[in-house]
A and B are shown apart, each in its own frame.
Chain A
Amino acid sequence: MSDLNTAMTERYRSSFLKEVEANVEEGEWVKMCMQCGVCAGSCPLGNAWEHTPQKLFMMIRAGKREAVLSSDAMWMCTSCYNCIARCPRGLPITHIMHGLAHYAKRLGLSPKNQPTQQFAQIFWDNLMKKGRVNELKLGLSMYFKDGFGQGIKNAMANQKLGQNMMKAKRMSAMELFGGHSIKDTSGLQKMIKKAQEIEDAKIQGNS
């Protein structure tokens, strides 16, 4: 998607804010931020990441395109919704953060080894196969995302957890063989594909 990145840079050269407004979900809200800082102060993980929503919104207005889109901050959002509940201007901050993350990934600018980003991709791929999340495979994919050796180590470390989940019938070893699906998996896949086409066309149209 780096071609798209080049096209977008070219098109919105003068204003990153306009680019965000046109292409990021809920991005049109960014200009409503009055920089009071309540989102930053209310975020339970705020001190764990470099760019709080308040800071990101100001960076967008300041045209700091690279720094915003390659930030790991959006990927750290846990969707606790504290910021939305507290924002005096009613900005859907959580959604903007996810929108930014999504847009950065589309352009290929999101940080490469950011774990929540990796998890998001694994989760999506897993979900799309059967229309349901296969928890066993999801867990295993996460364990082995950094190679076979690390995967074994991770699996051993969480052995007890897995066994207990099976005992409590929260997870079945049988899921390893295909796993159960929704009634019309291909129907779902077609729907998603169509949605993606519409979205891609929209973004391409903007480039």
Chain B
Amino acid sequence: MTEVIATNQTILVVGGGISGLTAALEAAETGKQVVLVEKRPYVGGRVTQLYKYFPKLCYPTCGLEINQRRAKMNPNLTILTMAEVTDIQGEAGNYTASVKLSPRYVNDNCTGCGDCGKAVTAEFDDEYNYGMGKRKGAYLPHRMAHPQQYVIDPAIIGTDDAEKAKAACKVNAVDLDMQEETVSFKAGAVVWATGWQPYDANKIQPYGYDRFSNVITNVEFERMADPNGPTGGKILRADGSPAKNIAFIQCAGSRDKNHLLHCSRICCMATLKQTHYVQEALGDEGKSTIYYIDIRAIDRFEEFYQTVRENPNVSFIKSKVASIVENRANGNPVLKGVDTEGYHRYENEHDLVVLAVGMQPSVDKASFPVDIVINEEGFIEPASENGGIFAAGCSSDALDVNRAVQQATGAALRAIQVVNRVAGTEG
């Protein structure tokens, strides 16, 4: 049975992405007790799935390493992975949280050696790579996963594969008898940092994400560009041939009454960044075309935008693409629409289309454990009705990593204020 030691002066952080991790670390480093609950088997969230950051085109692994090191070194921080908050009762200064822990079937003895992964034969779609590529039934979710422990897929429990994994383990880390359990513990304040998910591209019917194999999303493209990703950094079409003439469609699901009302803020910069990937992978052979309503490279990113503008291999077409059809002969997507600069009707064929899908907040009002004020865009409002629950990062708004981290630090401070009040009354 897992035991979580917590009091009314403990801060509960829900979600271990970059925002949750930041809030947890900042609070823990001021001396507060923090419990971080993360649904995935590792912390870092979607940042771990990025190849590079804008605007410096540096690697997220760098900052992630620092944060993971801070987490390992801090005795005030308890991290629960494969854990989900199922209920929260009480009020600011006195919450009781229930957390469901799913079995990892691997205990803390794990050294991450990988012998179990080699022994197992069953393969599954790799969720870390958005289903592009496969992973084993016993796997390390990604190279830098923290905790650096393997996971056994529940689907192989009860099969020979599970026994093979157990037999292969030299450090007695595989525990096939692990059960799901629910733990309850106290918390004075809650930082809610459940982040975001890519908007479901299937809902943008005219773009045919569900019908055309050479229409993908920007998060998939990000994995493709990563040398450690499913294609080894090659930009490929569905048939495995190289994609050279690539279209990016902005506001795919954002700023649209039929989809997400808000501007997701990151997609313009993400696309501008991804044109660099095209250059990096293909040199002058790689052509990028950006279809946009308007480019929102906010404040200090303007320079980044101008640099991409000057690249002769990148063209900009001011138009929201009306529809995509497929050229049956070669599988090329054909983009149809009318451009705003001259009102020319176009039908442009590309090798690959990347939909710059928006940020959908991962906040579900219907299943939220307590009363919470959520705005029409689906984000948590900073409202006094929320009591001791504070949204961090993309639970509060569509933010890039930089702003999410700033916002999460602010949320941590709010939470600290609540537990300090509790400390003041309890002495």
Contact = CB atoms under 8 A, between A and B. Distances in A.
B343 A88 contact: no
B338 A86 contact: no
Contact of B343 (A36, A42, A55): A55
B257 A37 contact: no
Contacts of A40: 322, 337-338, 343, 345
A54 interface: yes
Nearest to B256: A88
Interface centre among A34, A37, A46 (most CB of B within 10 A): A37
B337 A37 contact: yes
Size category of the binding interface on chain B = 20 to 34
A38 B322 contact: yes
A52 B293 CA distance: 17
A35 B340 contact: yes
Contacts of B343: 40, 52, 54-55
A87 interface: yes
Interface in B320-371: 320-323, 336-340, 343, 345
A113 interface: no
B257 A41 contact: no
B128 to A, nearest CB: 32
B137 to A, nearest CB: 43
A89 interface: yes
Interface in A108-157: none
B159 interface: no
Nearest to B255: A88
A37 B321 CA distance: 8
A109 to B, nearest CB: 22
A52 B339 CA distance: 11
B258 A88 contact: yes
A88 B257 contact: yes
A36 B320 contact: yes
B75 interface: no
Nearest to A89: B257
Nearest to B292: A36
Contacts of A90: 257
B257 A87 contact: yes
Contacts of A54: 338, 340, 343
A95 B343 CA distance: 22
Contact of B251 (A35, A46, A88): A88
In the A-B complex, the 6 residue pairs with the closest CB atoms: A41-B322, A36-B320, A41-B337, A88-B256, A40-B338, A90-B257
